[in-house]
Amino acid sequence: MKALELICTRIVYSESAFAELKLWHLPTPAQGSLHIFKYSLAYVVSGKCVLRYDNESGKGDHRHYYDEERTYACTTPERLIDDFQKDIERWNHENPDA
């Protein structure tokens, strides 16, 4: 079985902000992850990626918030997207003039 694309979309929040979501179902877990999903979720404001969740091979699940990178415990695609959305809301709240 090859990787199956589940989500590949862009959500526009404003003239200067959008989110890009990419999610695949894998036949086996990516190196460094315990689940069978590969993902890259990014929130871009004024041309700069300010928030990103991903699990690049070898690094495992993690999230970037501002300039900080931390481990992230991905459990399900639904929870991943919910956590990402909550971080977008948090970022927008903390940066109302962006």
In angstroms, the CA 82 to CA 87 distance is: 9
Question: What φ, ψ does residue 11 adopt, rounded to 5°?
Answer: -115, 120
Q: What is the pLDDT of residues 58-94, one digit of tens each?
A: 789 999 998 899 999 999 999 999 999 999 999 999 9
Q: Classify residue 72 by its DSSP letter.
A: -
Question: Strand pairing partners for 98?
Answer: none
| Predicted TM-score (pTM) of this structure | 0.91
Compute the average pLDDT of residues 49-64.
Answer: 91
